Amino acid sequence: MKSFGSEGILFPVYFIMLALAVYLNVFTGSGLDIANIIINIGMFLIVGGIILYSTTHCFMPANRMMASLHLAARNFQTDFKRKGDYLWDDYKDNPKLFGNKLADTRFREYCEERRRLTMLERSAQCDIDDYLNDVVKKHELTREDKEQDRIRHVDVCDANTGPIYLACKYPQELLDLMENWKASHDAVYDFVAEDEIGHRVWVIDGEAEKKLIKEQFGNIPSVYIADGHHRAASAVKVGLKRRQEHPDYDGSEEFNYFLSVVFPYDQLTILSYNRVVRDLNGMDEHAFVASLKFNFELMIMPGFPCKPVEKHCMGMYVGGNWYHLKAWEDVYAKKDVVGQLDVSILQEKVLSPILGIRDPRTDERIRFVGGSHKLRELAEIADKTDGVAFAMYPTSMEDLMQIADEGKLMPPKSTWFEPKLRSGLFIHKLS
């Protein structure tokens, strides 16, 4: 064990003093008095015992701790050089940060307790470590180019100006508290914006109510990103950047958190996220429609748009006509929860093999249109390029949470949420 202090010189000094005492008492003839010899022996035994105890119970444990800290620092450095961020991924499931079983165990306990206390103390903000440790669960991948714009915006503004939408199963106590508070207090904000979306904000400032909110949120094991994967990823990366710039951070700094709002999952409505493809990949309308009959029951819907009303159904517009498509049961029956999503069925059976859209995240031939737009707008977009439009049935919140719990991912642009909170209504400063 490498020594990190000067305690190693204690033993040589002790033995030199012992030898000197023996020499003075025995060989010089001046210390032959038996009482004097006993006293000296007693003193040296006491001092030797103190040195031995200090070495085994203080110096050696301190040295081991310093060695563990040095190892942890090297792990951090190596991990950061390799990845650049998400420094805890290697230690979440099989933590060997310190190389010491006791230290690693205590560190995990500390992290868990810190996470619990943070959840109690921070109800309007989300800890970036919770994002990294999958307490905040994701269901979609993000695009690097879209992240970069948001990273620059947050970093330059030194603030989160738009909240990430989270969802979870609210305890009934919280639901009752909010309803009772709204019934007995006036809203601090109450306005309708230019987009005709109304906003009402209540501030719960009662001490008993705040205590209950902290306790209840502290018992919620995880939350789910409903909307804002790119905003969340960008906010986390800005926080990690600030940690690099402030290596002495202790976790209480505002850059360790990002602005969020947590909705009861059953009070959120997911709208459809529709698709428009610019062309038919070289096919004519009749050949394209015929190619769909292997996987779908088709019904032409003349004269009016087709809006799907149940899962595994979708509306399609091509060549001036609307069609109702219903997937055959054997298309999805043996699939997992991701494979049974309508957006997955469309991607696997139509977009990729027939229309040649291999990667919808990057292919410029496909356009995603939020469910707040009317179906006639889809038709108008498709008509401009002689393309095809698909009106999707919305993904359910239950499917979203199950997919996130299983650590799986939805196809891109699977969910659309309306209405959206107005950006700038709440601002979280990072410093």
Give pLDDT, residue 7: 60
- Which residue type sits at 219? N
Give pLDDT, residue 195: 80
- Which residue type sits at 194? E
Q: Is the pLDDT of residue 24 over 60?
A: yes
pLDDT tens by residue, 379-396: 999 999 999 999 999 988
Arithmetic mean of pLDDT, 60-66 = 68
Q: What is the C-alpha to C-alpha distance for residues 153 and 238, in angstroms, rounded to an integer? A: 10
Neighbours of 331 (CB within 10 A): 18
Confidence of residue 422 (pLDDT cuts 50, 70, 90): confident
| Residues whose CB falls within 8 Å of the CB of residue 382, separated by 6 or more in sequence, listed in order | 276, 277, 317, 318, 388, 389
At 8, give phi and psi (nearest 5°).
Answer: -65, -20
Give pLDDT, residue 118: 40
pTM across the whole model: 0.63
Give pLDDT, residue 386: 94
Highest mean pLDDT among 99-113, 285-299, 400-414 belongs to 285-299
Report whether 294 contacts 305 (CB < 8 A).
no
Arithmetic mean of pLDDT, 258-262 = 91
Burial (0-12, 13-18, 19+ Cβ within 10 Å), 289: buried
Closest CA to 288 of 321, 311, 310, 331: 321
At 235, give phi and psi (nearest 5°).
Answer: -60, -40
pLDDT tens by residue, 140-180: 888 777 889 999 999 999 999 889 999 999 999 999 999 99
Q: Is the pLDDT of residue 189 over 60?
A: yes
